[in-house]
Amino acid sequence: MERRGFIKTGLVTVAAGASGHLAYGEIRVPVGEDISQAEMENFTREMDLSMDLISHSSGDYLKRLIPQTPNEAEQNFFRSSLRTLLLVGNFGKLPVKGQVHPWMQKRMLYSVPEINYSVTSSLDMLKNLSDESKEEIRSALTDDPELGNRILETLDLEAKAVGVPSSLRRQMRVMGTRINRRLSHSPEMLFDEYIKKADKLLAAGHSDEELDHLLKAQAGEADFSKRRTEAEYAAMQWNRMNIPDLPPGYLPIITEQDENKPSDNQPSLKKRKGMGLLGIGSVITLAGWLFIGLAVLADSFGALAVVGVIGGVTVGPVLILIALIILIIKAIQSGKSNR
């Protein structure tokens, strides 16, 4: 598929359609260290409904910006991107006990191919964008100072309609505002910074042992060990409750046949690195392999402090949001040129 055709038609479903509104409003993320099975059941079912809704809705808010009709292949990137932001954002908001709940762990492993597809596709997009396209993006934002705000408002409406918690939407809005500011100044500088930080992690750790050592070094061995012990203890608590299985209530958008199938019990090294870009570590414990959050979204940009994390802001969500903003701008430009 030619990139111009992809840009013109593949954007109506950035949020994959938020025209269907959830009956319960936004997803209720459990808080506190002593969360109950009932709280996790309500949360999991609400999140499953949101993930499924993203797969089937039509993106009415985005159509007001880009009245194009995408084909199925073109929708995959946008739908998987919003689902990645929703799933990873909710995971990061959970306390450790919630993160290691068997149903949450099942969904993280089930969605690893889709999550990694969203991140790597966004990274590839930034690497392959031409100098001409970068200048067009900068000019679009400087010539129309309100364009960035309109894009972020549209994404916020789409996210709200599929139940994304208001706290996550606020953080994404702040992050998007700063991305737009930097895009209007120098897309090249922004891209180079995040490409280098992503490549640094992806090139590091040639074995599970080396990656574990890197995680410990970046997060601080004492803090990392404490978090792993806490996760192990909580997971074993859940295991003693003999919680029945609850398969994910949504179908995968992206699957991989050769590696890390949803039924795998252990993520591959490549997938562990990809999850690291989203501030999520995968560690071996007495309770088995567990995904744990190494950081949550924050409102600042800074130096690399934790693997995949910049001043508390994970590299992966930033890459995804940059890619979505860029594609929306390019689609708007393409629509104007065809009038």
Determine the Cα–Cα distance for residues 123 and 194; give it in Å rounded to an integer. 9
pLDDT at residue 71 tops 90: no
Residue 240 has pLDDT above 90, yes or no: yes
Instruction: Name the more confident of 171 and 309.
Output: 171
- 5-32: b or e for each residue (b if 16 or more CB lie within 10 Å)? ebbbbbbbbbbbbbbeebeeebbebbee
Check whether 215 has a pLDDT greater than 80: no
Render the burial of 262-284: b for 16+ CB within 10 Å, e for the rest: beeeebbeebbbbbbbbbbbbbe
Nearest to 30 by CA among 86, 105, 108, 98: 98
pLDDT greater than 70 at residue 73: no
pLDDT, mean of residues 168-176: 91
Q: What is the pTM of this model?
A: 0.83
- Say how far residue 75 (Cα) sits from the centre of its chain: 16
Confidence of residue 282 (pLDDT cuts 50, 70, 90): confident
pLDDT of 295 reads 56
pLDDT in tens, 89-139: 999 899 999 999 999 999 999 999 899 889 989 999 999 999 999 999 999
85-94, 150-159, 271-280, 320-329: the lowest-pLDDT one = 271-280
Identify the helix (H) or strand (E) that includes residue 304.
strand 304-306
Percentage of the residues of the chain whose pLDDT score is greater than 70? 77
Q: Tell me what percent of the residues of the chain surpass a pLDDT of 90.
A: 43
The better pLDDT of the pair 3, 33 is held by 33
What per-residue confidence (pLDDT) applies to 224? 78
In this structure, the strands spanning 313-314 and 304-306 are unpaired
The tally of CA atoms less than 13 A away on the side-chain side of residue 150 is 14
Give mean pLDDT, residues 277-299: 73
What pLDDT, on the 0 to 100 scale, is given for residue 4? 39
What digits encode the pLDDT tens for the residues 197-211?
A: 888 877 776 677 777
pLDDT confidence tier of residue 258, bands split at 50, 70 and 90: very low
pLDDT value for 297? 34
